[in-house]
Structures are given as C-alpha cells and as structure tokens.
C-alpha cells in the first residue's frame, strides 16, 4: 500500500482564492466543498467558506485547504510550515516559481545553491511560504 503526504493549509476566508490561484500555477483539478454543503450552514457569512478543498495535478502536485470556522481560533503564526515543491527539471520548477511569485515576497531568490541545482523561498500573496528546489543529488 502506498501513502501520500499532502499539505493542508488553514485559511481565514481565503481558501477558495488561494486554491484557485494554486490551480493556475500547477494546473490540475480543483475541488471545493462549502460549509453549507458539508454542514448545512445557512448563515450567509459562513455558508460559502470552504470546509474542504483540494488542487491535484496529473504531475503529482496536491494541496488541500479549508477556512477555519469563525467560532474556532485562527492564528497563522510566523512560520507554521513551508510547502515544498521539489522536482528534477529546472525549467519546470522555474516556471512554477514565476507564477507563484506574483505579488509574493521573495525570501530567497531562485538560484543555484550549495545544496541544490536550484533553490528559492517566497511567501505568496496569501501568506503561505513556499520552497521550490531541484536537488543536487537524487532524493
């Protein structure tokens, strides 16, 4: 049996926009379930929030997200996690970087490093920190 690790990102009302953006970056399919669909929530301010969402591409990219309900505390923290996208093709990783960097804060510019053929870190427009790299040695 194979298992898969997928980042699940918590948002405060931005899950739909973030997942839609990630779909434009990585391609693939977008699936969304709202609080109204999952829990029967009728309150207008909560009904359209995402209770579960996912982007999955044929190339193997997958990320999930949801909007934390208003009755639960939300604190994104300073650096709660990084989403890492690692591949073997420099051009492919550079193309993802170019798209993700739209309105992003560049933490480490995408370039060759001592440990990778290509490495970069950015915080996207939704506040999520991404690490993209092409390892120097096979993983």
Task: Write the pLDDT tens digit of every residue in 98-139.
Answer: 999 999 999 999 999 888 999 999 999 999 999 999 998 765
| The pLDDT of residue 23 is above 60 | yes
Three-class SS of the chain: CCCCCCEEEEECCCHHHHHHHHHHHHCCEEEEEEHHHHHCCCCHHHHCCEEEEEEECCCCCEEEEEECCCCCCCCCCCCCCEEEEECCCHHHHHHHHHHHCCCCEEEEEEECCCCEEEEEEEECCCCCEEEEEEECCCC
Q: What percent of the chain has pLDDT over 90?
A: 73
Q: What percent of the chain has pLDDT over 70?
A: 96
List, for residues 64-80, the tens digit of each pLDDT value.
999 998 888 888 887 77
Position 136 scores a pLDDT of 84
- Model confidence, pTM: 0.86
Q: What's the CA gap between 133 and 119, in Å, rounded? A: 4
Per CATH, the number for 82-135 is 3.30.720.110
List, for residues 35-55, the tens digit of each pLDDT value.
999 888 888 889 999 999 999
CATH superfamily of 7-67: 2,3-Dihydroxybiphenyl 1,2-Dioxygenase, domain 1 (3.10.180.10)
50, 16 in Cβ contact below 8 A? yes
| CATH 3.30.720.110 location in the chain | 82-135
| CATH 3.10.180.10 location in the chain | 7-67
């Amino acid at each position: 049996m194979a298992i898969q690790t997928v980042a699940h990102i918590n948002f405060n009302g931005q899950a739909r926009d973030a997942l839609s953006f990630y779909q434009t970056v990585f391609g693939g399919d977008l699936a969304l379930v709202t609080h109204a669909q999952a829990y029967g929530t009728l309150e207008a301010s909560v009904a359209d929030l995402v209770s579960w969402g996912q982007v999955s591409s044929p190339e193997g990219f997958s990320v999930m997200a949801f909007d934390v309900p208003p009755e639960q505390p939300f604190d994104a923290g300073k650096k709660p996690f990084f989403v890492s996208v690692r591949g073997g093709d420099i051009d492919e990783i550079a193309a993802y970087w170019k798209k993700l960097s739209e309105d992003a804060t560049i933490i480490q510019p995408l370039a060759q490093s001592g440990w990778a053929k290509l490495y970069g870190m950015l915080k996207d427009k939704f506040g999520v920190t991404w690490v993209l790299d092409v390892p120097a040695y096979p993983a």
